[in-house]
Amino acid sequence: MKKFDIPTYYRSPLIGAIKERRKMQDPRKKDFAPLALTAGEVTFVLPRHFGFCYGVENAIEVSYRAIAENPGKRLFLLSEMIHNPAVNEDLQRMGIQFILSTDGQQLIPWDTILPGDVVITPAFGTTVEIAQMLSQKGVDLETYDTTCPFVEKVWKRSAEIGQSGYTIVIHGKHKHEETRATFSHSQANAPSIIIRDLEEAQRLAGFIRGEYPAAGFAQAFHGKFSDNFDPTRDLQRIGVVNQTTMLATETQAIADYLKTIITAHFSDESRFIDTRDTLCYATNDNQTATLAARDFGADLALVVGGYNSSNTSQIATILEEAMPTYFIADESEMLSASEIRHCRYGQKDLLHTADWLPQGPLRVVVTSGASCPDVVLEAVMRKVLALKGVPEEVLEEAANWA
């Protein structure tokens, strides 16, 4: 796999060495068992896969190259590069301005963007409408386009589905940058609709079977379907694609459910098209590795990443099924051995939990999302040791034997 040129301060020599050792031991990625790293009375359970993925490293490399190659020019990102505050803040300090917020709010007016400006497309991609509008203004979007190839794969598959006469059902969060981009591309080829979860899939099934009046469709899926969508016409042949950072098992459950519904209703299995190949390999690997760490068992889990990171929230969702799980941005959220500040993702608010760190020997899963630098995860590990009174050098000793 390609080696990316990203700033060394995002990398952790300690975690990098552990990952490289595991890669040499398991080059085909067949072993998803976690690594148990014991440092004093603390055992860190490290999943087989975590941290930066291909798309994220590519986006960071291209962004820093854009900065280096364009001294004196105005530099813009269409939205956040990735969902990690540390990386985005670094880019802003270097002069990059964000045109849109993560939920699509305009931060810089389009009419102020000029042909000579440098505009970077984030890893999530962008909509057809934005790309066409900037192209008409003479703005170059190709030189620094960091759209993840796995997102582009979803767009390609959506086009194939749409051109074959199927309506496209997107499993995703309708305000997420990637989902907005995918929806824009898919509706250019076919009727499209976004559903968030199995509950919305069940609501959609009611319209497929004609149990709900078509007149109620617009209210039930407000802001989540393409123009002129007609539930009586456009729900007869469907295929499911996904926002690449969603929970893979949830996407599959939704696809399986809708296949059963539409096949039974029309007595025709060909009215549903199989689209499992749109699931991102990195998301799959991270989630599978997280499941293995969950089943390995621990006293608690620390999941590190940006609070608006979808893939990180899915990791937290998996772990919280089996143990107390704290979704934190970085080591500063561990206020003391008796208090931790963490994100309740569904509500996107911060909680303070007391007595979170057990006394005595501790086994803790530590992992991170695809947009979190390894150096942040290492800092979390070192903070845990400090709170438990374990000397930091014990971590290096343990890592050398991992």
pLDDT band at 401; cut points 50, 70, 90: low
Pair (30, 122) in one structural domain: no
Model confidence at 402: pLDDT above 60:
no
Q: At which residue do the structure tokens 């990203």 appear?
A: 6
Reading the block at residue 161, the tokens are 């589905």
What pLDDT, on the 0 to 100 scale, is given for residue 278? 73
Which CATH number is 63's domain given? 3.40.50.11270
Pair (159, 273) in one structural domain: yes
Average pLDDT over the chain reads 93
Model confidence at 277: pLDDT above 80:
no
Number of folded domains in the chain? 3
> Across residues 99-126, what is the average pLDDT?
93
Domain end position, chosen among 94, 111, 136: 136
Pair (297, 359) in one structural domain: yes
> Across residues 41-63, what is the average pLDDT?
95
Domain end position, chosen among 278, 294, 326: 278
Model confidence at 56: pLDDT above 70:
yes
Model confidence at 196: pLDDT above 70:
yes
Cα–Cα distance, 335 to 100 (Å, whole number): 32
Pair (223, 326) in one structural domain: no
What pLDDT, on the 0 to 100 scale, is given for residue 387? 97
Active site positions, annotated: 178
- Name 400's Cβ contacts closer than 8 Å, sequence gap at least 6: none
User: 173 in a domain, yes or no?
Assistant: yes
Phi/psi for 30 (5° steps) reads: -95, -25
Strands (E), 74-190: 75-77, 96-98, 118-120, 167-171
Pair (367, 321) in one structural domain: yes
- Name 363's Cβ contacts closer than 8 Å, sequence gap at least 6: 36, 42, 43, 45, 297, 298, 299
Domain that holds residue 209: 149-278
Which pTM was predicted? 0.90
User: 165 in a domain, yes or no?
Assistant: yes
Cα–Cα distance, 230 to 191 (Å, whole number): 9
Cα–Cα distance, 289 to 367 (Å, whole number): 10
Contact 74, 21 (CB under 8 A): no
Cα–Cα distance, 296 to 351 (Å, whole number): 27
Domain end position, chosen among 259, 278, 297: 278
Pair (101, 163) in one structural domain: no
Pair (300, 396) in one structural domain: yes
Q: At which residue do the structure tokens 């440098």 appear?
A: 118
106 vs 399: which has the higher pLDDT: 106
User: 142 in a domain, yes or no?
Assistant: no
Q: What does DSSP say about strands 300-304 and 272-273: parallel, antiparallel, or unpaired?
A: unpaired
Per-residue pLDDT of 308-338, as tens digits, reads 888 899 999 999 999 999 999 999 999 999 9
What pLDDT, on the 0 to 100 scale, is given for residue 334? 98
Pair (310, 389) in one structural domain: yes
Pair (128, 154) in one structural domain: no
Pair (238, 315) in one structural domain: no
User: 335 in a domain, yes or no?
Assistant: yes
Pair (97, 170) in one structural domain: no
Pair (261, 154) in one structural domain: yes
User: 120 in a domain, yes or no?
Assistant: yes
